[in-house]
A and B are shown apart, each in its own frame.
Chain A
């Protein structure tokens, strides 16, 4: 126990003195969050009035559904234009043939962005529902033509919910719980992996293992310090998103911290494990596209049930899927820890297995 504490103290001290890494861990997520917020949620913060000229009814309805957007139908471009000049509307959308002509007042860039986003996603949603109709039509004809009896699960699924599907939530809100987990996972994975790799290549690991330290004490020492780092990182990210970005967290903030700390432990164990397969820091970086990035796709940002079955299977071995599930439940539905206990238990299982592997794996460097 004394050694575990001493190791965690040393690891923490090294980390605190590494200003660049600290900035990376604490400022980079904030910066990215701000950017994401600006990019994805422009349409939730503003009230925009758009003049429509010649736009199809279904599309106008779709645009109207967008949060903060109101449409006003105008008979002609000229009358819309005069309204725009009087600042009664923030933009004009006109259909000519298949093309859209959009004029922005552009006095408020966020309104412009909102208009663009609303139009784009409405067109997308509209096209999709057209597509859906077309598909249903084709499907109705298929059994007759081919004589094949399509069961219901063979029906191509198109869900509206992944493109601003629910008008009450936006993309950013949805991504946020998953993003928090991603930041924690990414930085803890990378930095702890690098740290252990450094210990190995610099020879300090060999020297450490030439003392009576237990292999487990090294692994637990690392866990303790990175656990603390993860607590601070998560707190910072959560507090910033709640108070800085004004995102609503329905559930208890401390439950999120708990989930993310568990995830950080998993990331740590994963990082340490992967570091044994790397010879240089660059090789460690090469694991990012291989191990870290794919997790985003399976973390719930894209609904799993829209994927092919064999692809879904991959998700079950990726830790971010489970943390995404748990944090989404807490942030968006206010679920208690008990309700999301299943994904947390699976994360803990990951943790136990990976930690065991790590303690065992250190045998490569000392046989006892």
Chain B
């Protein structure tokens, strides 16, 4: 337990009558990239929101670094990239980075260096002094990623980081995620693009509000005798449906 970076136990989250998470259990070990997959609307973002304390679960608990969430101080050690590019459009890329660096509580003397570093990582260094209202969709996504990299958090939570991103950029983002993982970061990535799940260390499948399957892509392929994650997902999903209909 204590070695897990993230752990969620029996989390139930409802919006009104709609049950989105129905006894969700989740563990993430340090130093891995976990891909949380599920169709859109399945509750991937909700998992993240509960984990960060932005939504309150009706029951169950969530821990990050062994501390019960919500916990304001711990947020400084988590890099979060939301599903939408939440940027201040009247500010330049640099001003956005500067602002979020200050919010994260980064030592003022280190801010400039960090901004230079993260903007290099996402290849935005030359566009940093333009207003973000003039950025293309891909540039906004990259700036968003750069913001989550600020503060050098040990845990990165990225909600669909590659949506609307062209293939070349998608590849470079994944390359960067692997590099970060190799440097000891733990990364939780959500996606509804199944072929991206081939690039992660562990796949977590969110179906009907529960974690239905979890494991390394290669192991899962063996287990289900399938050669793509997509096929496995569909298999698990249909099994789940027949289970439900039997009850």
Interfacial chain B residues near A18, Cβ < 8 Å: 90
Q: B91 near A213 (CB under 8 angstroms)? A: no
CB of A304 to closest CB in B, whole Å: 42
Nearest A residue to B147 by beta-carbon distance? A207
Q: A210 near B80 (CB under 8 angstroms)? A: yes
Number of interface residues of B (CB under 8 A): 33
Q: A210-B82, A367-B70 are in contact. Are A3 and B102 (CB under 8 A)?
A: yes
A109 at the interface (CB under 8 A from B): no
A14 to B91, CA, bound (A): 7
B170 at the interface (CB under 8 A from A): no
Q: A211 near B95 (CB under 8 angstroms)? A: no
Q: B99 near A10 (CB under 8 angstroms)? A: yes
CB of B70 to closest CB in A, whole Å: 4
Interfacial chain B residues near A202, Cβ < 8 Å: 84, 86-87, 89
Interfacial chain B residues near A13, Cβ < 8 Å: 90-91, 95
Interfacial chain A residues near B102, Cβ < 8 Å: 2-3, 6
A205 to B82, CA, bound (A): 11
Q: B70 near A366 (CB under 8 angstroms)? A: yes
Which of A6, A206, A212 has the most B CB atoms < 10 Å from its CB?
A212
Nearest A residue to B54 by beta-carbon distance? A366
Q: A203 near B104 (CB under 8 angstroms)? A: no
Q: A203 near B70 (CB under 8 angstroms)? A: no
Q: A208 near B103 (CB under 8 angstroms)? A: yes
Interfacial chain B residues near A213, Cβ < 8 Å: 103
Q: B88 near A14 (CB under 8 angstroms)? A: yes
Per-residue B-contact encoding for A326-368, CB less than 8 Å = 1, 0 else: 0000000000000000000000000000000000000001111
Interfacial chain B residues near A204, Cβ < 8 Å: 86-88
Q: B99 near A212 (CB under 8 angstroms)? A: no
- Picked from A14, A208, A368, the residue with its CB within 8 Å of the CB of B53 is A368
A86 at the interface (CB under 8 A from B): no
CB of B11 to closest CB in A, whole Å: 14
Q: A10-B91, A203-B86, A210-B80 are in contact. Are A365 and B54 (CB under 8 A)?
A: yes
- Picked from A208, A210, A368, the residue with its CB within 8 Å of the CB of B78 is A210
A209 at the interface (CB under 8 A from B): yes
Nearest B residue to A365 by beta-carbon distance? B54
A14 to B86, CA, bound (A): 15
CB of B242 to closest CB in A, whole Å: 38
Q: For window 46-61 of chain B, which residues contact chain A by CB distance below 8 Å? A: 52-56
Q: A368 near B84 (CB under 8 angstroms)? A: no
Q: A367 near B91 (CB under 8 angstroms)? A: no
Per-residue A-contact encoding for B100-128, CB less than 8 Å = 1, 0 else: 10111100100000000000000000000
B71 at the interface (CB under 8 A from A): yes
Q: For window 145-172 of chain B, which residues contact chain A by CB distance below 8 Å? A: 147
A3 to B105, CA, bound (A): 8
Per-residue B-contact encoding for A217-245, CB less than 8 Å = 1, 0 else: 00000000000000000000000000000
CB of A352 to closest CB in B, whole Å: 23
Q: B87 near A209 (CB under 8 angstroms)? A: no
A210 to B53, CA, bound (A): 8
B76 at the interface (CB under 8 A from A): yes
Q: For window 299-318 of chain A, which residues contact chain B by CB distance below 8 Å? A: none
Q: For window 151-197 of chain A, which residues contact chain B by CB distance below 8 Å? A: none
Q: A3-B102, A10-B91 are in contact. Are A212 and B86 (CB under 8 A)?
A: no
Q: A212 near B88 (CB under 8 angstroms)? A: no
Interfacial chain A residues near B89, Cβ < 8 Å: 202
A161 to B172, CA, bound (A): 76
Q: A212 near B104 (CB under 8 angstroms)? A: yes
Q: B103 near A14 (CB under 8 angstroms)? A: no
Q: A210-B78, A366-B54 are in contact. Are A17 and B90 (CB under 8 A)?
A: yes
Interfacial chain B residues near A368, Cβ < 8 Å: 53, 70-72
Interfacial chain B residues near A17, Cβ < 8 Å: 90-91, 131
A143 to B131, CA, bound (A): 77
Interfacial chain A residues near B53, Cβ < 8 Å: 366-368
Nearest A residue to B55 by beta-carbon distance? A367
A70 to B154, CA, bound (A): 84
Interfacial chain B residues near A14, Cβ < 8 Å: 88, 90-91
Nearest A residue to B74 by beta-carbon distance? A212
Interfacial chain A residues near B223, Cβ < 8 Å: none
A212 to B85, CA, bound (A): 19
CB of A316 to closest CB in B, whole Å: 37
CB of A49 to closest CB in B, whole Å: 57
Q: A211 near B90 (CB under 8 angstroms)? A: no
- Picked from A203, A205, A212, the residue with its CB within 8 Å of the CB of B75 is A212
Q: A211 near B70 (CB under 8 angstroms)? A: no
B73 at the interface (CB under 8 A from A): yes
A6 to B97, CA, bound (A): 12
Interfacial chain B residues near A207, Cβ < 8 Å: 80, 82, 86, 100, 147
Interfacial chain A residues near B82, Cβ < 8 Å: 203, 206-207, 210
A116 to B122, CA, bound (A): 71
Interfacial chain A residues near B78, Cβ < 8 Å: 210
Interfacial chain B residues near A7, Cβ < 8 Å: 103
A279 at the interface (CB under 8 A from B): no
Interface residues of A (CB under 8 A from B): 2-3, 6-7, 10, 13-14, 17-18, 202-214, 365-368
With contacts A6-B103, A206-B86, A365-B54 known, what are 4 further pairs, Cβ within 8 A?
A2-B102, A13-B95, A207-B100, A212-B74
What are some 16 contacts across the A-B interface (CB < 8 A)?
Answer: A2-B105, A10-B91, A13-B90, A13-B95, A202-B89, A203-B82, A210-B75, A210-B78, A212-B75, A214-B72, A365-B54, A366-B54, A366-B70, A367-B53, A367-B56, A367-B70
